[in-house]
Structure 1
Amino acid sequence: MTVLDPARSGQFRTAAQHASRRVPIAQRDELASHVLDAMRGQHYESAAAVAVLDGDRLVGLVTIERLLAAQPTAPISLLMDANPPVVASSTVQEQAAWKAVHHNEPTLAVIDEGRFAGLVPATALLEVLLTEHNEDLVRLGGFLRSASPAQMTTVEPVLRRLWHRLPWLGVGLVGALLAAGIVGNFEADLAEHVLIAFFVPGVVYLADAIGTQTEALVIRGLSLGIGVRRIVGREIATGALLGLILGGVSLLLVGSIWRDWHVALAVALSLLAAASIATVIALVLPWGISKLGKDPAFGSGPLATVTQDLLTVMIYLITASALVV
């Protein structure tokens, strides 16, 4: 019986990265007692199974439990699993780990062009499964890089939660005051044409809704490694088309119901402009916040909302004043 020196492949995220050659090795004609005697005093990275070789070719695996329970004179060839889970060195680590689990084996043999390359220890298999599970949660949750910050923010104490959220909401409060100031500047126009005020909430809401949809797509894309450049053109075009469709529908509805086609046109044009601008803002802010190393899930929503609201209110009131007054 022999022990092979450690050797690790430089491949990233493959079975070879986790394979260890410092494991018990036996020949198929050795006896169980000889294998156990040879294992004593040796330091292995994993001793959950003995690799049975014929030259440099793997012919089977024997679990340590079966080896300890065997008769001393039992040959290894009768104890081994002649069809153990085997993967190529280039196999993706997640596929390799699941193959070991499905075969109910404590380890996994790695083969490099037919030659034995090592065994993946049980601890490495568990680490791979946990890592891949963590990454899946990241993708589902729309977080960047790691789920650890997301998990921490979920269970963090109240004061910490306030620290993460209040600064962004403080920006929103300032924006609300600015929006009130903008509306105040059009007080005379609103007093003369009250109908204009009826549609401020609707125009603001639709612009926010379009921006929120874009933000969700951008944050999800960032978590999956999809850059903003890959979606910016299609998303801006989508925002403009949404504004065009919503504007056209509002033009017909407002004009037909309230019989004021000037206000209807102001609402329609404002929706077209606000939807296009909201899409751009929703694209830029999450990208910028992530570039600063911050989680866009906290900041992009409040910051984008207040920016969109200010611009939307300004666009609508200026348009309405120009067309109606």
Structure 2
Amino acid sequence: MESTTEYPIKTAGYNMVNDVPVFNEDNMLADIEKALEDSAHQFTTLDYIYLTEEDNTLVGVISIKNLMACGDKSLKARDIMIRDMVTTDVTNDQENVVYLALSHGLKSIPVVNEEKGFMGVVPYDTILQIFNHEVQSDVFNFGGIFHRVGDEYTTIHSSALHMIRSRLPWLIIGVIGGTLAASLIAQFEELLSSFIALASFIPVMVYMSDAAGAQTEALIIRSMALESHLNVRKYLAREVVVATTLAAVSGLFAAFLAYMTRQSLILGVIIFLALFLSIIASVTINTFAPIILKKFNYDPALATGPLATIFSDIATLAIYLAVAMTLLRGA
């Protein structure tokens, strides 16, 4: 078997171990049990026994529990092995391994190559470590904190300098983004002063587009993590339908509330069109950002949090004010 260090970090191949019990499907259960008694200390994990053919093709698996429970030890391994196995490719993302283990209730996941040859196993303790690190990393990314997985980050053990260095970069970027948004609004001061109701709906516009974008972002990043060969075209086709529906319903509801509270039909029309376009823009930004990052071998989760919020907010404000100016000029 190959060395795990030959595979890219954060893949199944990188996280697998090779020292696991492997036998031929023709071996008798009595022989397997005797071999395990003699060499159990040599294995990293003993949750399952993996069965292969002569060419090392993985054909089945037997849990230790089922082996011990079998009363007839004269049977061959193939007689009680599970043929319909859950496996993962050596190049699959480690998040996909965690998903497979949790969704199927398995303690370890066998790793195979393109020819279905048995390469090793991602053990239970490694799966738990990956799960902890990935959740931790995603939480920090959503919160806008630069954090290297593996470093401790707690209010008790981290130094003040470390916490400042982790949190300050995105805050600085946020200030820059906020300044750009303020500059954009300043270009429409005359419009806002002549129709003050527009200003009161800016928070609504920004919140709605951010919320729709965040939902899209979370779903596509999860899909990309769990499906190593995600059909992007099919996913985008579905997202177009979803985004259009969400934008239309949200826009109509917001327009209705705007009309009821301000008794202004033109304001309702502005709110509808602007929110419709803003939600579509936000969903588009938050859909393509992770895809582009993954295309260039960057972590798609980097598209989350403050970075996506800045682009979404600026796009929303630009659309809102441009729609308002266009419609009010023609009114």
Do both share a fold (TM > 0.5)? yes
Instruction: For residues 23-64 of structure 1, give each alpha carbon's deviation from its aligned partner in whole angstroms, at most 9, with x where no partner exists.
Output: xxxxxxxxxxxxxxxxxxxxxxxxxxxxxxxx9634353475
In the alignment, is the contact (CA less than 8 A) between 1:203 and 1:271 conserved in 2?
yes
Q: Percent identity?
A: 24
1:66-109 superposed Cα distances (whole Å, 9 cap, x missing partner): xxxxxxxxxxxxxxxxxxx866433677xx5xx2267779xxx9
Q: Report 1:108-187 matches (<5 A).
A: 128-135=123-130, 137=132, 150-152=149-151, 154=153, 157-158=158-159, 159-187=161-189
Match of 1:68 in 2: none
By how many angstroms is 1:167 displaced?
3.1
| Aligned-residue offset at 1:169 | 3.3
Contact 1:203 1:312 in 2 (8 A): yes
In structure 2, the partner of 1:9 is none
- Alpha-carbon distance in structure 2 between the residues aligned to 1:306 and 1:256: 31
Q: Does 1:57 align with 2:28?
A: yes
SS at match of 1:306: helix
> Which residue of structure 2 lines up, in the alignment, with residue 308 of structure 1?
312
1:266 maps to: 270
Deviation track 1:147-176 (CA, whole Å, cap 9, x = no partner) reads x95443645845445444433333222111
Query: 1:296 Cα deviation (Å)?
Result: 3.9
User: Is the counterpart of residue 248 in structure 1 residue 248 in structure 2?
Assistant: no
Residue 292 of structure 1: how far off its partner (Å): 4.4
For residue 27 of structure 1, what is the aligned residue in structure 2? none
Task: Find the counterpart in structure 2 of residue 208 from structure 1.
Answer: 210
Residues 252-296 of structure 1: per-residue CA shift (max 9 Å, x gap): 221122111111111110110000010110012223334444444
1:190 shift after superposition: 1.0
Q: Which amino acid aligns with 1:57?
A: M
Provide the secondary structure at the position in 2 that maps to 1:311: helix
TM-score normalised over the length of structure 2 = 0.60
2:64 aligns with 100
Equivalent residues of 2:210, 2:282 under 8 A apart? yes
Partner of 1:318: 322
Matched letter for residue 216 of structure 1: A
2:281 matches 1:286: no
Where 1:152 maps in the other structure, the secondary structure is: coil
Determine if contact 1:142/1:223 at 8 Å carries over to the other structure.
no
**Would the alpha carbon gap of residues 198 and 17 (structure 1) be closer, same or farther in structure 2, given more than 3 Å must change?**
same
Following the alignment from structure 1 to structure 2, what is the Cα–Cα distance between the partners of residues 298 and 86? 39
Equivalent pair of 2:209/2:312 in contact (CA under 8 Å): yes
Shift of 1:301: 1.8
Secondary structure of the residue aligned to 1:18 is: coil
CA distance in 1, matches of 2:29, 2:167: 57
Please tell me the root mean square deviation across aligned C-alpha atoms, in Å: 4.2
**In 2 relative to 1, CA 178–87 (structure 1 residues): closer, same or farther, beyond 3 Å?**
closer
Displacement of 1:225 after TM fit?
3.0
Contact 2:21 2:49 in 1 (8 A): no
* Cα distance change of structure 1 residues 261 and 204 upon mapping to structure 2, 3 Å threshold: same
The answer on whether the counterparts of 1:15 and 1:88 sit within 8 Å (CA) in structure 2 is no
Choose 225-234 or 192-201, whichever is displaced more.
225-234
Letter in 1 for 2:301: A
Cα distance in structure 1, aligned partners of 2:290 and 2:309: 12
